Structure 1
């Protein structure tokens, strides 16, 4: 049974799309071809690999699409007129690998396997982030404000002064946060909040603040 990851080929040259698809098929890799980003599905819920030309005019759009609509994905870039600088730029900007086209079958297979390895490493973290985001979405705006201040190292009294509410109200919001996130203490709540990607600490001081015990 073939368990290779599906490759989404995005290329505006019909001839090149067909050639890439054929070469992937000869390696036992299923591919789906697209002319540009506008043809992609509204959202991709499975793990996929994007293969596209480094010089593509929609390169930035592809990265944005991956971030917003393909949460579990990797990318491999190629060029028909490659140079060392292009390969370095592609890897620096998140590509799993870079190939020169036409590519030797072994090199193309290695590039896709590297992307598959990246997917296997990233899936647990992405899954955790997705679950954390769902939990954080249950918080009210005030509860999110309080949680954000906690992450920034504010004590209950400072949060109360900053939000113009009483310390008792702050404590109520904090208890609600723990309950909704289904955790026992503030430290666990902070882990979920940061995993969601919707909160960023102002510094590292929260790690040693006794308020998080």
Structure 2
């Protein structure tokens, strides 16, 4: 699959573009780089299907604004957003807007390739939303009411301390519930848990 997948890398940092492009090309991907979201949007209607690797913090238009514009134009290519460390609220917003995944900088090669692999699987499969919703609801049914509360708060972009305050429990208890959520949903990252939550329409209120 990788040799057929095109990666559109959007980042204003020249060093990041060079290093990420080298990493991806040596992993068998075709890579096209853009120094800004504005550059991507100028060309997007002429681009072949692929995956968009989109930095959040950029001048002129940040990644969320670029993502919204892609949605407005009906661009259905999967988007993986790159965020700063601990910027959960931004990642949640990006995923609510349809991002397939998010990675915190600095990201590891294995994490990037995993995210691209998942995103590439969605190319040409936009008719699977209802099945995903059913599957997500089945998996969430295994959670206790309190674990669902914690997942709902995570889906709203709240950090552990805020969740603890809102639910009237200790931050340590939140960590325990959060670990249980990850285990029961059989996921390894927050982005995977959020993808299930959003598929089941948790946190939309």
TM-score (norm 1): 0.50
The structure with higher relative contact order (CA 8 Å, sep 6+) is: 2
SS in structure 2 at match of 1:121 = coil
Equivalences for residues 8-47 of structure 1 within 5 A = 8-40=8-40, 41=43, 43-47=45-49
Match of 1:84 among 69, 79, 88: 88
Equivalences for residues 149-160 of structure 1 within 5 A = none
| 2:170 alignment counterpart | none
Shift of 1:53: 1.5
| 2:121 alignment counterpart | 117
| 2:159 alignment counterpart | none
| 1:132 alignment counterpart | none
Shift of 1:2: 5.2
Once the two structures are superposed, what CA deviation does each residue of 1:73-132 show, in whole Å capped at 9, x if it has no partner?
11000124233333333222211111122222211011111111222312899xxxxxxx
CA contact (8 A) 1:42 1:69 kept: no
SS in structure 2 at match of 1:55 = coil
Match of 2:53 among 51, 59, 67: 51
- Which of the two has higher C-alpha Rg? 1
**How many equivalent residue pairs?**
125
Mapped to 2, the partners of 1:66 and 1:123 lie a distance apart of 19
CA contact (8 A) 1:5 1:30 kept: yes
Structure 1 residues 89 and 2: CA distance shift in structure 2, 3 A? closer
Shift of 1:21: 1.0
Once the two structures are superposed, what CA deviation does each residue of 1:163-194 show, in whole Å capped at 9, x if it has no partner?
xxxxxxxxxxxxxxxxxxxxxxxxxxxxxxxx
| 1:74 alignment counterpart | 78
**Cα RMSD (Å):** 2.7
